[in-house]
Structure 1
Amino acid sequence: MLPARIGRVEGMGSVDALTGRRAECGLMDDLVTGASASPVVLVRGEPGIGKTSLVAWARDVAASRGMVTLSAAGTPTERGLPFATLHQLLHPLGTDEKTPRWRRAVADALNALDAPEAAGAAMVGTAMSVLELLTDVARETGLFVAVDDVQWVDGPTRDVLTFVARRLGPEPVRLALAGRDEQPDPLEEVALGQGWHTVRLSRLDDVAAAALLDRVAPDLPADARRRVLDEAAGNPLAIKELPKTITDAAYIDGGDLLPVSRRLESAFASRMAVLPERTRRLVLLAALHDSDAVGEVLAAGRVLTGMAVSLRDFEPAVEVGLVEIDRDKVRFGHPLVRSAVSQDAGPATRQEAHRVLARTARSPDRRVWHAAAAAEAPDEAVADQLDQAAVAALQGGALETAARAYEEAARLSADPRRRATRQLLLLEMLDEMGQRDRALTVLELLDPAVLDAGERTRLNWMHELLTTGAWSGGDRVRLFAQIARRMHADGDTRRATAMLVGIALRSWWSNVDADTSRLLAESADEVTAADSAVHLIVTSLAAPEERGAKSLAAYDRLDLSLADRNAEVMLGLGLGAAGLGDHPRGRQLYALAVADGRRQGRLSSLTQALAGSAWCELHLGRLRRAEVAGEEGRRLALETMQPLWEATSSLAVAASRSLRGDVETALMDADRAEEVFLAVGADPMLALVRTVRGYAALARGQYDEAFTQLYAVFDPHDVAFHQHHCTFLVAELAEAGALGTRAEAAREAIDAVLDRRLRTGSPVLAAGALVARPLLAEESAKADLFEEALRDGLAAWPMHRARVQLHYGAWLRRGRRIAEARGPLRLAHETFAGLGAVPWAERAAVELRAAGDLPPEQVTAAWEHLTAQEIQIAALAAAGLTNRQIGERLFLSHRTVSSHLYHIFPKLGISSRGQLGAALAGLETSEDLGRSGTAN
């Protein structure tokens, strides 16, 4: 027999729709049957509104259709225990005698979750294991997973569930999440971003409310019936429960209306009054404990009552509907019952119960939380235990749990200095989690006078971050650099170094003045001298103009085979190289960062590396690579809640699409990204938006419009001005000016940049200059400059080289040097067509025809019909990776990979993996994708 928590009913069945919820039940039925466009539904509403009933109804429908069902629910007391709800959800699979493979998989997953080091960098591996387990369970009959009260699910479990939910795709797994309305609601933001269905339950109308009451209490007197309907106000749980409480005329006729949840809690609490004392104590222990194991509750009950207790003592509570006993589990019919029992007990009785649970609970984590709840006054011993719990939670990647532990430890601190130190740790954690309002509250409570010098420096840093709001501008950067130096002087070099890397990246995007750049670089000299890689990252980003040549030379000496290299360091080095305009080197470093990020499960740095890689590929003219990396970066940025990086990735995709001729889609993406940047005051990042719009105008042949968009990045008076990014756009601005009416303005803008920056050795600036000079030169000088450009090192810049060839050939043709024109025009057409730059390929074709030559007929390759993710999967499969290996590389289940290949084969006109290599011929991403798993 399957465990009680797993349901499987053979054959088809039907379950009557809930009263007043026909539309909602229809949507849930679509979820179960797969008719819904989304495999996930999020149910929201007030307490008692029917969320639990709706999800339970859907679970019954799934079971009636023969699906395996799993369910779990968050509880307030378990919210601080990492993976508590995931243990609850998976445990039944581990007890299934008929499916040993499930037992083994669950044991491995739960054992891994119990190890403090399992999460953090390995969190993704854990989530992937859960994904593979659930899809394996679903393979034969499908799987329905229901998670109730998600507002109380512990953070790590929520992370795993959302990770899995994003990757269900074609898998026969359906997920229903239910929880109370919250503001803000991060899960609802995820639902919107992922296209999940959201059901917000409203109160029942008068007809449905009356029908439900007639069904649950048909013999209720008329006066009582009227009062119940008035009091319940359409809340289904109130309609079901209030009739059990109304027993006298005084209640029927009088009393002020209270919020529904208060009335329900009062109704549940009133049933406690009729229970024997021993039963009341057991129910209270069950309500306060964060485990539903009835054995643990009974053990605590023996200590609390000083008497022998057994399951029979729960029977009076079961009879009045407060609890349910299911084999070895004790459960409450509704979360409000648990709340009502706790509130009814009073503070002294609750503390006594917590004190007992702190002695008898099996889990050390649970014991410390009960000890904290039982403490009546500051208690350093308990605060120390909470410190240890916080450290363990941090090792496991459970930031919210760690924050709650430090918060409780600060409350219980007898020593003012230790209280302040704990509040500072809490402050840093809240900032990392983005909980600014909560952090500001802690900041007000913290007494800086009792901190030591190093801690006060850290507090100053947090104060600046939380209260000033903006990073841009020299004043902020200089202040942060000074704080980093003070941290270093106080011996906290680790934090000072991490701070400088973040400041340097912001500085690159902030158009700071030369003095500020110099100060930041000098701070790096002082703070990061012992770490050559980090020193190179900071100085490259902080002072690309002053130290560009020196930094590029340092990159030449860099040892990239370091055994201890990690994703963050490789990402920083990639950012630095790209910031210097060395996109070929940046591309290589980002490839290492992507590989390390995948291997280490560091989704945040992987996201940023993919975004950076996309822009490097774009500037190098590798448009499909840019799109593949950018699409994955966009998906992961959404998942890791990095809106700026999501916008940055989206713009790389949009820029690629512009150059390939898909202008309308690109411009819509640019508009959306512009809203993101404006909302957070990231004005210099508008340079990326102008870049996309400039590319789109070039693709359409609207050269003056292209000039207007691109020139804004060069213009110090424009909000989109960017003193570094403009060096990447020299070739494009020159083309827009030369082919339109703004050649002189383009020449002036480019000359200003070259005068200031060419000495830095920026490779992209040097390549842009080779394109710009002949385009904007006097007629007499053009020939020599075109020849020089084609001789002088554009091999790494195919789009730049093809531009030179196109414009040189066109210039030769206009000068009636027809035979000479055909060679460069053929090469330009070949390159543009190969890169997928359709508008430019078409222009080269027009010029070729005008020169009396016919361009080769362009046949759209079959792989052009693949999505970016399909290209990744096809290339990896062509390189010999198995479906499981591809899934591990791309954080997908192997069945999702199989489904993608099922759709890829007919698009490519093939029937086997062995044909993939030939089908992808001409796709310039395939070889590299096969090696690295991304657009590297």
Structure 2
Amino acid sequence: MIGVTKTTAGTSPRLYGRAAELDAVAALSERPLSGRSGVLLVAGEPGLGRTALLDRAVRDFAAGTVLHTRAAPAERHLALSGLHALLSSAAALDAPAFGAVTPGVLAPGHPAARIPSGDGTAPGGTARSGTPATGLPPTVLLDLLRRTGHRRPVLVCVDDAHLWDPLSRAALGFAARRVDSAPGVALLLSVAGHRACAPDFAGLPLLRLGPLTEHATGALLDDLALGAADPLVRAELLREAEGNPALLTALAGRLSPAQLSGHAPLPRPLADGPTLTRVVGGRLAGLPSATRDLLLLVAAAHEHRPDGCGADEALVLRAARAAGLDPAALDAAERAGVARSEGNLVRFDDPLVRRAVHRGAPLARRRAAHARLAAVLDGQRDRLAHLTHRALASDGPDPRLAAELASAASAAEVRAEPLQRSLALARAADLTAAHRSRAARLTAAAEYARLGGRPRRAGELLAAAREGAAGHDAVRGGAELVRGALALRDGPVGDAHEALLLAAALLDPYDPQGARGARFGAMEAAWAAGDLPACLTALDQGTASRDPDDDDFRAGMQAALSIRFGDARGPLRRVIDRAGDDDDPVRLLRAGAAALVLGDITAACRLNARALAAARARDTATLVPQALEHLAYAELRAGRHARARAHAEEGLRTAHRSGQRNVVAQHHAVLALVASIEGGGATLTAHADAALDIARPHGLVQAASLAEWARARADLGRGMALDAAARLGPLVRPGHRRGHFAVRMLMAPCFVEAAVLAGECAADAGTAVEEFAGWAALGADPQAPAQLARCRALLAPPPEAEALYAYALTRHERAGGDFERARTLLLYGKWLRRRRRPREARGRLKDALYAFERSGAVVWAEQTRAELRATGGAAPPETAGPLACLTPQQLRIARCVAEGATNREVALRLSISPRTVDHHLRNVFALLGVRSRVELSRLVAREETVPAG
């Protein structure tokens, strides 16, 4: 389609979730209006909105001329067809600069008249002779734009530019790279995602479209359905669309009002072949039939690799030759950007295209493709793949094949990923007529889908298994075990606890090992919920195991949770020792937890790192984010904050991909704790809020406690002791709002420090210190003895305080960890400064500063520098403008007031009296010539945020 439009302002259709992209296009469109030029390349796969974005730019360009063309796939092999179309459309403008041109015919003097066409004639119809096809003057389009831009602003929009013929693309790319020489002109081009790096477009400013966010696709669906979509239907549509707005629109359009509202069943599959073809079928148009047949083999082979990594190229080519297909037919698909070879795999560039190829083919052709693949696979070496393709080619129940496939999918000696096993078991269930066997296979398929990081697929398989699961306790118990494990990672942990206890009770007579696993899972759910009695209840039930590791872990955890650490050490130490040469990620994670309970942080880091490596080696996607969570927490306890952040950031990504929101919350909480040390205020708020958004509805008391602790520690680092004490008080004090039982004592030193510095809650602080003393005596935390001495120093009279600070530093040397030692040094330095011993204070504060810097504790380092400046031990940073006349103490007070602190809060932060603050503040007002705190805040903000000069 070609359009030349002089637009006027009007209503443009809404584009969901594309605010940043619209801003980028608007910035480009504004450049010609001020005589500048620019270019932007928009890349994205079908259905993501490239055309809509260009259409919006055309509609919104009100003050100039738009040349708008869409490439015609049928003309892509006609030399110069794209450029000819654009120049012909330009001729429709009343612009003398273009010469006397009518659409389709170029005047003899027009620059494009010298461009050869693909059929041996000039575009205007004049015969040519001796001009090679490569004789296109590359400047032709650029010359046109130069002559036009100085007369009026011009926006050139070329949609699907990758479909232009090669010579036209070359001229377009030449003009785009030199558009700076054509003032008043902007080029907005769109290409398929895989063509963004093609030679004609490489290096151009790129805007790559990705799938829409869940929020944006939800808003689009609400608009399409007029808000009438049932919540379950809505969730399924969003999952199926995978952020593709065109596919979501097509899916919603094929549903009746009754289906949208949930009163009628949805069609299966929801995204069928015709729907997918409407969205991405253009990518397949024009491909030879042999290529399409070969692509169906690729798509069928891909069914055995549901992880999306690709199909075995050797397998596809063997099947193609057996079917009489020329393997070279795949070259056309690669040229069209549909599929490509990567190493020993063939993969589709867009998963939607793969789904369209497979689902768009008639059922008989799909079965034939799977039969061809099965025929060329070795039944012994490739047993699971061979049986899977045979099953996919089958057209009805086949008990014998179903039994063989289920056996292969469950066999430990068969090398396969969890998702491959899940697919095989689900297909075996399809071929099974007996309800009980079918339900058992569907349940096993659900468990492998869960391990493979596909919780939604696991839920669907469990729902399908429900009918047969009602008949036998063993089958019901297996289904409840999977259901509870899913809820443990993504759902209210109270529900997970109950489901796992029910699973254990049902499985006890049939599968004792599965029952023990269910009880350990129930204990983990109760732990996440902060329910200590429920943890003990889950561990108390059940019979002894033949596995000494299970018995030791259960006995050790029972003793530890009952505060009998002497009884816990032996069993838990044996669990740790036995894990030394283990490669099972579940047992390694259990051993890592045992090490944390015993306070052996070094062993916890080592075991959790091994658990991570084992989970990756086994491709258990659901365990990788858990291992990263445990490792990040252990690194945090060890004081290695940068490592903890790296592991938690990776864990956050993997937990999102595998749909484990409860694990997402834990990673956010760890990242909030790291940010409370590193000083990222906005980062801390974002992570703490994200953790609490999940933790509150899902009952994750541990994650919520860590997030609140992070906020309080950040307040303390900024000198806001009163706020920190108010946050921590409810979590540390006894009562129904108390924090998590395993985190309360870790937070106690922060609460004591905040309460003492704030000058309040002295009685509560004393109570917390005595309770913390009992915790420190257990030996479960290597930092606790030093922290206890520090807390007692904060509450002690001067003669005793100094000795306690010195003892605390001695214990820090034994425990290691720069951050906690630096906090003790900072408090000791403050204590010395308040007693007018500046020389001694400077020594402690400098040690604290260097330790904070080594720890990456930015906000704490800044607090220490301020204390050093107050002692005269370090020169303040050079301050330009009016603030240069203030003393270091006056400048600190001015900054605190500018942040909104009251005189009393300033006094608490700086460890001085409110009367001293009032005295300094009057002098600050006089020196700066301001009359109010508001004027002072504006002055400080202006001087410290705007560079001088």
TM superposition score category, shorter chain reference: 0.5 to 0.7
C-alpha change, 1:684 and 1:176, in structure 2 (3 Å) is closer
**What is the aligned length?**
629
Alignment partner for residue 446 of structure 1, among 468, 480, 494? 468
Check conservation: 1:430, 1:438, Cα contact below 8 A.
no
Change in Cα spacing, 1:542 to 1:647, as seen in structure 2 (3 Å) is farther
Give me the whole-angstrom Cα distance separating, in 2, the residues matched to 1:485 and 1:671.
Answer: 38
Q: What CA deviation, in whole Å up to 9, does each residue of 1:718-771 have, x standing for no partner?
A: 667211112211221111111113332541552474376445322144443222
Counterparts in 2 of 1:834 and 1:187: CA distance versus 1, 3 Å: farther
User: Contact (CA 8 Å) 1:637, 1:646: kept in 2 or not?
Assistant: yes
Aligned-partner SS, 2:759? coil
- 1:762 counterpart SS class: coil
| Deviation sequence 1:128-166 (CA, Å, 0-9, x none) | xxxxxxxxxxxxxxxx99799xxxxxxxxxxxxxxxxxx
**Equivalent of residue 810 in structure 1, options 830, 836, 839:** 830
Residue in structure 2 matching 1:791, options 805, 810, 816: 810
Q: Secondary structure at the match of 2:47?
A: strand
CA–CA distance in structure 1, aligned partners of residues 241 and 733 of structure 2: 41
| CA deviations over 1:639-688 (Å, ceiling 9, x no partner) | 44443333433333332233233223221222222223235342442112
1:239-388 residue pairs with structure 2 within 5 A? Answer: 261=274, 290=300, 342=362, 368=387, 372=391, 378-388=397-407
- Alpha-carbon shift at residue 598 of structure 1 (Å): 6.4
Contact preservation (8 Å) 1:611, 1:645: yes
Structure scoring higher RCO (CA < 8 A, sep ≥ 6) equals 1
Structure 1 stretch displaced more, 359-368 or 675-684 = 359-368
The answer on 1:776 being equivalent to 2:795 is yes
Cα drift, residue 810 of structure 1: 2.4
> Which secondary structure does the structure 2 equivalent of 1:413 belong to?
coil
Query: Which of 452, 455, 458 lines up with 1:434 in the alignment?
Result: 455
Distance 1:403 1:556, change over 3 A: closer
Q: Hey, what does 1:694 align to over in structure 2? A: 712
**Which residue of structure 2 aligns with residue 834 of structure 1?**
854
What's the offset of the Cα at 1:773? 1.8
The answer on whether the counterparts of 1:387 and 1:406 sit within 8 Å (CA) in structure 2 is yes
Cα RMSD of the aligned pairs, angstroms, is: 6.1
Please name the residue that 2:135 is paired with.
Answer: none
SS at 2:581 equivalent: coil
Q: 2:563 aligns with which of 538, 546, 551?
A: 546
Deviation at residue 524 of structure 1 after TM alignment: 8.4
Structure 2 match to 1:655: 673
2:760 aligns with 742
2:725 corresponds, among 691, 704, 707, to 707
Whole-angstrom distance in 2 between the partners of 1:385 and 1:856: 79
Query: Match for residue 750 of structure 2?
Result: 732
- Alpha-carbon spacing, 1:500–1:174, altered in 2? closer, same or farther (3 Å): farther
SS at match of 1:527: coil
The whole-number CA distance in structure 2 between the counterparts of 1:289 and 1:815 is 78
Structure-2 change in CA distance of 1:485 and 1:771 (3 Å): farther
The C-alpha deviation readout for 1:189-228, integer Å capped at 9, x for no partner, is 6x7xxxxxx6647999xxxxxxxxxxxxxxxxxxxxxxxx
Tell me how far 1:829 sits from its aligned partner. Answer: 3.0
| Amino acid aligned to 1:690 | E
Query: Are the structure 2 counterparts of residues 353 and 606 from structure 1 closer, same or farther at C-alpha, using a change threshold of 3 Å?
Result: closer
Unaligned runs of 5+ in 2: 6-14, 26-37, 54-69, 81-190, 196-201, 222-234, 255-271, 282-288, 302-314, 330-345, 879-949
CA 1:646–1:423 in 2, change beyond 3 Å: closer, same or farther?
closer
How far apart, in 2, do the equivalents of 1:582 and 1:753 lie?
22
1:411-810 correspondence runs (5 A): 411-432=430-451, 433-435=454-456, 437-449=459-471, 451=472, 454-462=474-482, 472=493, 477=497, 480=500, 483-484=503-504, 487=507, 490-493=510-513, 495-514=514-533, 516-522=534-540, 526-527=544-545, 529-531=547-549, 535-536=552-553, 539-540=556-557, 543-552=560-569, 558-559=576-577, 562-594=580-612, 605-715=623-733, 721-744=739-762, 746-747=764-765, 750-751=768-769, 753-754=771-772, 757-763=775-781, 764-778=783-797, 781-795=800-814, 796-810=816-830
The amino acid across from 2:455 in the alignment is G
Q: Distance in 2 between matches of 1:374 and 1:547?
A: 60
Provide Cα deviations, 1:450-469, integer angstroms capped at 9, x if missing partner. Answer: x4x65554345346567999
Deviation at 1:821, TM superposition (A): 3.9
1:847–1:337 Cα change, 3 Å: closer
CA distance in 1, matches of 2:854, 2:544: 48
Deviations 1:61-120 (A, max 9, x none): 9x99xxxxxxxxxxxxxxxxxxxxxxxxxxxxxxxxxxxxxxxxxxxxxxxxxxxxxxxx
Q: Aligned to 1:546, what secondary structure does the other structure show?
A: coil
Secondary structure class of the residue paired with 2:455: coil
SS state at 2:362 partner = helix
Cα distance in 2 for residues equivalent to 1:528 and 1:698 = 50
- Aligned-partner Cα distance in 1 for 2:840–2:293: 93
1:406 aligns with 2:425: yes
Is the CA contact (8 Å cut-off) linking 1:146 and 1:177 kept in structure 2?
no
**1:284 to partner: Cα distance:** 14
Q: Which moved more, 1:661-670 or 1:751-760?
A: 751-760
Counterpart selection for 1:825 from 819, 838, 845:
845
Q: CA 1:424 to 1:731, structure 2 compared with 1: closer, same or farther past 3 Å?
A: same
Which letter does structure 2 place at the counterpart of 1:380?
P
- Alignment partner of 2:47 out of 23, 44, 48: 44
**What residue identity is the alignment partner of 1:698?**
L
Q: What amino acid maps onto 1:531 in structure 2? A: D
**Deviation for aligned residue 1:805:** 2.4
**Residues 781, 370 of structure 1: CA spacing in aligned structure 2 closer, same or farther, 3 A cutoff?**
closer
1: CA distance, partners of 2:741 / 2:405: 49
Offset at residue 690 of structure 1 (A): 0.5
Report the Cα offset of residue 510 of structure 1. 1.9
Determine the C-alpha separation between the residues in 1 that align with 2:298 and 2:589: 46
1:678 aligned partner, one-letter code: R
Alignment of 1:230-245 (within 5 A): none
Q: Percent identity?
A: 23
Label 1:652 to 1:299 Cα distance change in 2 as closer, same or farther (>3 A): closer
Q: Distance in 2 between matches of 1:745 and 1:621?
A: 30
* 2: CA distance, partners of 1:737 / 1:683: 23
Q: Read off the aligned partner of 2:563 and give its amino acid letter.
A: E
Q: Is the 8 A contact 2:712 2:728 kept in 1?
A: yes
Length-normalised TM-score, structure 1 = 0.53
Q: Do the aligned partners of residues 186 and 59 (structure 1) sit closer, same or farther apart at CA in structure 2, a change above 3 Å counting?
A: farther
How far apart, in 1, do the equivalents of 2:652 and 2:194 lie? Answer: 28
Consecutive unaligned residues in structure 1, runs of 5 or more: 1-14, 65-143, 149-168, 192-197, 205-230, 233-258, 269-278, 302-309, 315-328, 344-348, 860-936
Other-structure match for 1:75: none
Spell out, residue by residue over 1:858-888, the C-alpha distance to the aligned partner (whole angstroms, 9 max, x if none): 99xxxxxxxxxxxxxxxxxxxxxxxxxxxxx
Which residue identity lines up with residue 680 of structure 2 in the other structure? D
Q: 1:353 to 1:455 in 2, by over 3 A?
A: closer
The within-5 A match list for 1:862-901 is: none
Distance 1:263 1:199 in 2: 12
1:806 and 1:844 in contact (8 A); partners too:
yes
